[in-house]
Amino acid sequence: MQKALGDFIHALRQAGLPISSAETLDALKAAQLVGIENPKVLRHSLGMTLTKRLEHRLIYEQLFDQYFLSVTEDESNPDNLNTEPDSQGSAPESSSPPAQQTANDQTPAELSQPLQSPLAQQLMDNNPAAQQVMIASSAPGAGAQSMSLFTQIPMVSYRIMQTLGDQELLAELAEIREDNPNLAALLEERRSNLQRQVRDFVEQQYLLFGQGEPQKLREDNLQKIKLTNIDHNNLKLMTELVQKAAKKLASLHSRRRKITKRGLLDVRRTIAANAAYDGFLFHTKWKSTRIEKPKVMVICDVSGSVSRVARFLLLFLYSLQDVLPRVRSFVFSSDMGEVTELFETQDMESALAKVMQDWANMPTDYGSALATFEDLALKDIDNRTTVIMLGDARNNNIDGRTDIWQKVYQQSQRVLWLNPENKFSWDTGDSIMSEYAPYCSHVETCNSLRDLNRILGSVLKNHR
Amino acid sequence: MTKEAITVIIRNQDKINTPETIKQHFEELGYICSDSIATAVYLACHLQKPILVEGPPGVGKTELAKKTSELLSAPLIRMQCYEGLDEAKALYEWKYGKQLLYTQLLKDQLGDVMRGAKGPDESVARLHQFGDIFYSEEFLEPRPLLEALRTDDGAILLIDEIDKADQEFEAFLLELLSDYQISIPELGTVKAKSNPLVFLTSNNTRELGDALKRRCLHLYIPFPSQNIEQKIISAQVPELNTELSQQLVKFISELREMALKKVPAVSETIDWARALLLLNVEQLDQEWVKNTLNLLLKFQDDIEAVEPEINNLLKAANKTH
């Protein structure tokens, strides 16, 4: 039972559930307490001890069914669930289907010729439960639990067949084919049945143990891939990554509090602190805690020159506004508009679509955009505001109105400019990055999620 | 099983020896629960672990703790969490007024004690002989958590809406939840006389820390299935006729499918059933639903969204009769 549970927890971890060893112990205790006679109760009990989130619970339930119920379902005998976790040696004898046994009874005399190889004898016995046990017990040796790629399935299946004694069987088959074609045909058929069984088993093992790793690999790679090359298939995963990053930022924010020397007099603590002075109020204690919520304004360039990354930048913008309080979002190509409300009211897909439709792919004009920004938001920028610009500073050789950007810089706490282009292409062609750069606290290249994550992380760390 | 088993649990062994019996006893008390709830209570009792109960508002999270205390006939100690809750309000507090009063009263006596002492060194040495009288049990004002630890036979401790409290407070709870003990600097560690059974509830306004979650059993209570909700109604409002209550439960479950700001929970269903009974309604029709909709929906936007749909919803509710 310990082993079965251990394997199951391993499979859960592979699926990405964070399960600590303390929780494993709890689960074991719970399983001992409720016993394994009632699968429903066991399912609830393990679920409560192992998973602490609703999303995780759903994954858990799926895996539980797959892991503990799959074999029994094949044999249409769900009552026997309790014996299954220990699939190594206790497959129920009673579960061999009667239909096949009758087929066995009718075996004509010519088919009952004695066979030499052990596997051939097994196959003639035709006991699926015993075969299942054989397969399961040879699986770990063949590496069924350490597969990480789908392509390994045929190889592992082949290895299992070898362990079961496939070679001798084939040799014997070749021998008897001439004398006893009927028997050979029957054996052939059973052998291919067995092969199918093995393959099913291995696939199931792959699903249980293998899926996690490639997923992790892909997530890692995605973080490194440039924003410009992300294909649409991965966009969904990317969204989740962005949300993860943004959530990290949000939790950093909410933890920052500050105790001030102002606010209400805390009578209780003051008296307590001054009891030693005969009740004279020497030291005053105050009870005001101020939660510091920085204001963030994000401006996103969606013009033609950044069109390839615009969608991604917007995605980040949207997630950021979703998780951080008090984020104001602006987009522009030649005109600027505030999209805070749009982002708040609409779901991501339709909000992004609307932004792309209304604002994107026009020629860039930083000058007029900044002028609008001045009207819209300059008065709200104070020394707790962080302004983030996502853009390439390619201005089609028009006046960039750096004077406004200077004002923004002076009023705000911090100005970040994240440029999707690499540093060596700044100031080439119509890029005027160096004109804006003096009025930014940080100028960074940002064209992958890893960059974004790192930059925003460091910004929040320096926050005082 | 740990050594210091909960007394109330030993006493009520027969009521909680399987999840099934717990479920039945709850039913007798008028609390209809699903298998997973019964299993959670069973595990919590026997493994002596706190339960973290999550779920939408109004599905009976707090009620579960109350009924468990009724079931085990143990006192229920409730602590409501809110932002800014600190250990002085949750755990213990010194009785400062009493301390002040006593210092005033004892002043003269102190004079007597000190008389004849040579120099400050000797005075202080004499004072030390008395020990910390002002920081002793007599001056301790127990708050809910300490009270729960000091109850002789074990208590049910309900820490309500833990997500409303700050993260610091959550960390402070960890010692209590895993070892059932608490450290008071002036007195030392206070161990539970008998471990309390702890329920924590959360509405998920904030993600709770992993350390806290790790120490708890996690129970998610979703909206009940139609079948269970039907049972709840007949347990809570037995006078209501079955046909109407069936119709009502179906209507509510249709309503929960809609995209609303706040969908009606079980408590709203019960309120509505009571109201319909009071109004002597025989059959749900458009007029009645329209007039009582504000019992179910708590936002004007929601009411406006539902009103034009009432007829369709009623049709759907009546269809499977």
Which helix H or strand E contains B94, and what residues bound it? strand B92-94
Look at residue A102 in the predicted model and tell me its pLDDT.
Answer: 40
Contact B39 A48 (CB under 8 A): yes
Find, in chain B, the residue whose alpha carbon is nearest to that of A29: B47
Q: Which residue of B has its CA nearest to A273?
A: B96
Average pLDDT of the segment spanning A249-254: 55
Claim to verify: residue B198 and residue B312 sit in the same structural domain: no
Q: Which of A238-252, A427-441, B78-92, B101-115 has the lowest mean pLDDT?
A: A238-252
Is the Cβ of B214 closer than 8 Å to some Cβ of chain A?
yes
DSSP B150-177: H-TT--EEEEETGGGS-HHHHHHHHHHH
Find the residue in A nearest to B52 (Cα).
A52
Chain A residue numbers touching B167 (CB-CB < 8 A): 254-255
Q: What is the DSSP letter of B83?
A: T
**Number of domains into which chain B is organized:** 3
The answer on B279 and B165 residing in a single domain is no
Please indicate whether, in this complex, the C-beta atoms of A30 and B207 are within 8 angstroms of each other.
Answer: no
* pLDDT of A260 higher than 70: no
The residues in A 181-200 lying below 8 A from B, measured between CB atoms, are none
Task: Tell me which of A25, A28, A36, A52 to substitute to probe the interface with B (most B C-beta atoms closer than 10 Å).
Answer: A52
Q: Tell me, what's the pLDDT at A210?
A: 64
Name residues 8-47 of chain A within 8 A of B (Cβ).
18, 20, 22-23, 26, 29-30, 33-34, 40-41, 44-45, 47
In this structure, are B75 and B162 located in the same domain? yes
User: Which residues partner with B201 through β-bridges?
Assistant: B53
Instruction: Establish if B210 touches chain A: CB-CB under 8 angstroms.
Output: yes
Closest in A33, A40, A254 to B46, CB measured: A33
Q: Which residues of B touch A254 (CB under 8 A)?
A: 167, 206
| A264 in reach of chain B (CB within 8 A) | no
**Which of B39, B52, B210 is facing A44, going by the closest CB pair?**
B39
CB contact under 8 A, A268 and B88: yes
Minimum mean pLDDT range among A49-53, A277-281, B186-190 = A277-281
Q: Does residue B123 belong to any structural domain of this protein?
A: yes
Contacts of A40 in chain B (CB under 8 A): 35
Across residues A379-406, what is the average pLDDT? 83
Q: From A148, A119, A160, A155, select the one nearest A14 (Cα to Cα).
A: A148
B11-27 pLDDT, tens digit each:
777 888 888 999 999 99
Inter-CA distances, A52 with A90, A462, B210, Å: 32, 33, 8
Query: A151 or B68, which is more confident?
Result: B68
Contacts of A53 in chain B (CB under 8 A): 213, 218
d(Cα A63, Cα A69) in Å, to the nearest integer?
9
Condensed to tens digits (0 to 9), the pLDDT of residues B131-171 reads 777 788 888 888 999 999 888 888 899 999 998 888 778 88
If you measure CA to CA, which chain A residue comes closest to B213? A52
Q: Which residue does chain B place closest to A45, by CA atoms? A: B39
In-domain check, residue B40: yes
Inspect the interface and report whether the beta carbons of A48 and B219 lie closer than 8 Å.
yes
B207 with B60, same domain: the answer is yes
pLDDT computed for residue A456 by the predictor? 65
Q: Is residue B1 part of a domain?
A: no
Residue of B84, B217, B220 lying closest to A49 (CB–CB): B217
Domain contains B171: yes
The answer on B149 and B187 residing in a single domain is: yes
Q: Say whether both B176 and B245 belong to one domain.
A: no
Task: Tell me whether residues A34 and B39 touch, CB distance under 8 A.
Answer: yes
**What residues pair up with B199 in beta bridges, in sequence order?**
B51, B158
Higher pLDDT residue, A280 or A103?
A280
Distance from CA of B52 to the nearest CA of A (A): 9
| H/E element, A297 | strand A295-301
Sort residue B297 into left (φ over 0), alpha (ψ -120 to 50) or beta: beta
How confident is the model at residue A251, as a pLDDT?
58
Is position B197 within any domain?
yes
DSSP label at residue A398: S
Name the residue facing B213 among A34, A40, A52 (closest C-beta).
Answer: A52
Using CA atoms, how far apart are residues B303 and B297, in angstroms rounded to an integer?
A: 6
Our CA dihedral for A32, A36, A42, A46, rounded to 10 degrees, sits at 40
Structure tokens at A98: 């009667």
Same-domain pairing of B177 and B278: no
Q: Are A391 and A301 in contact (CB under 8 A)?
A: yes
Global pTM?
A: 0.62
DSSP notation for A23-61: HHHHHHHHHHHH-SS-HHHHHHHHHHHH--SHHHHHHHH
CB spacing of A272 vs B94 below 8 angstroms: yes
Residue in B closest to A22 by C-alpha: B214
B19 touches chain A (CB under 8 A): yes
Tell me the shortest Cα–Cα distance from A11 to chain B, in angstroms. Answer: 19
User: Given this model, what pLDDT does residue A167 score?
Assistant: 83
Mean per-residue pLDDT, B111-126 = 81
B83 and B108 share a domain?
no
Q: What is the ipTM of this complex?
A: 0.82
Kindly report the backbone phi and psi dihedral angles of residue B88, in degrees, each rounded to the nearest multiple of 5, phi listed first.
Answer: -65, -30
Contact B220 A57 (CB under 8 A): yes
Residue A99: per-residue pLDDT: 39
pLDDT digits (tens, 9 = 90+) for A168-201: 888 888 888 777 888 888 888 888 888 888 888 8
CB-based contact B43 A49, cutoff 8 Å = yes
**Of A205, A193, A195, which Cα lies nearest the Cα of A66?**
A205
Q: Are B52 and B220 in contact (CB under 8 A)?
A: no
Cβ contact A26–B216 (<8 Å): no
Residues B31 and B59 grouped into a single domain: yes
Query: Could you tell me if residue B188 is inside a domain?
Result: yes
CB contact under 8 A, A29 and B47: yes
Instruction: Give the model's pLDDT for residue B167.
Output: 78
Last residue of a domain, one of B179, B204, B220: B220
Q: Does B247 share its domain with B204?
A: no
Q: Is A279 left (phi over 0), alpha (psi -120 to 50) or beta?
A: left
- Do B197 and B235 have their domain in common? no
Q: Which of B47, B88, B220 is closest, CB to CB, to A30?
A: B47
**Average pLDDT of the segment spanning A109-138:** 74
* CATH number of the structural domain spanning residue B182: 3.40.50.300
Give the end-to-end CA distance of chain A in Å, rounded to a whole number.
Answer: 53
Query: A54 vs B217: CB contact, 8 Å cut-off?
Result: no
Contact A41 B52 (CB under 8 A): no
* Residue positions counted in chain A: 464
The per-residue pLDDT for A226 is 54
Q: Length of chain B in residues, anyone? A: 321
Task: Please tell me if residue B96 touches chain A, with a CB cutoff of 8 Å.
Answer: yes
Cα torsion angle, A38, A44, A47, A48, sign: negative
Taking the Cβ of residue B218 and every Cβ of chain A, the question of whether any pair is shorter than 8 Å is answered with: yes
CA distances from A25 to A189, A218, B251 (A): 46, 31, 44
Q: Where does a domain end: B125, B140, B155?
A: B140
Residue A259 in this model has a pLDDT that exceeds 60: no
Nearest partner of B192 among B202, B182, B201, B184, judged by Cα: B182
Residues from chain B that touch A286, judged by Cβ atoms under 8 A, are: none
258-317 of B, contacting A, C-beta below 8 A? none
Q: How far apart are CA B178 and CA B171, in angstroms?
A: 12
CB pairs under 8 A between A and B: 75
Cα distance between the two ends of chain B:
50
B104 CB neighbours in chain A (<8 A) are 279
- Closest approach of chain A CAs to the CA of B218, in angstroms? 5
Give the pLDDT confidence of A40-98 residue by residue, as tens digits. Answer: 888 999 999 998 888 788 888 888 888 887 544 444 343 433 433 433 433 333 333 44
Alpha-carbon gap, residue A152 to A154, rounded angstroms: 6
- Is residue A343 a contact partner of residue A321, using CB atoms and an 8 Å limit? yes
Based on the fold, state whether residues B72 and B149 are members of the same structural domain: yes
How far lies A299's CA from each of A187, A309, A331, A430, in Å?
Answer: 72, 14, 6, 20
| Sign of the dihedral defined by the CA atoms of residues A358, A311, A348, A301, in that order | negative
Asked if B214's CB is within 8 angstroms of A33's CB, the reply is no
Query: CA-nearest residue of chain B to A272?
Result: B96
Determine the distance in angstroms separating the CA of A30 from the nearest CA of chain B, rounded to an integer: 7
- Contact (Cβ atoms closer than 8 angstroms) between residue B133 and residue B180: no
**Helix A128-138 vs helix A153-164: angle between axes, to the nearest 10 degrees?**
110
Using a CB-CB cut-off of 8 Å, the residues of chain A touching B169 are none
Q: How far is B95 from chain A (nearest CA, A)?
A: 9
Q: Which DSSP category does A365 fall into?
A: -
% of chain B beyond a pLDDT of 70: 97
Residue B2 lies in a domain: no
A249 to chain B, closest Cα gap in Å: 14
Average pLDDT estimate for A423-439: 84
Residue in B36, B54, B96 closest to A268 by CB: B96
Boundary-marking domain end, from B174, B202, B220: B220
Domain of B106 in residue numbering reads as 92-140
Query: How far A113 CA lies from chain B's nearest CA (Å)?
Result: 55
Q: What is the 3-state secondary structure (H, E, C) of A373-393?
A: HHHHHHHHCCCCEEEEEECCC
Q: Quickly state the pLDDT bin for A324 (edges 50, 70, 90).
A: low
Q: Which comes out higher in pLDDT, residue A160 or A122?
A: A160
Q: Give the integer Cα–Cα distance in Å for B105 and B118.
A: 24
Q: Is there a domain that residue B274 lies in?
A: yes
Name the phi and psi angles at A301, rounded to 5. -80, 125
| Highest-pLDDT range among A35-39, A373-377, B21-25 | B21-25
pLDDT cut 90: percent of chain A above it: 2
Cα angle for residues B72, B73, B79 (degrees, 5° grid): 90
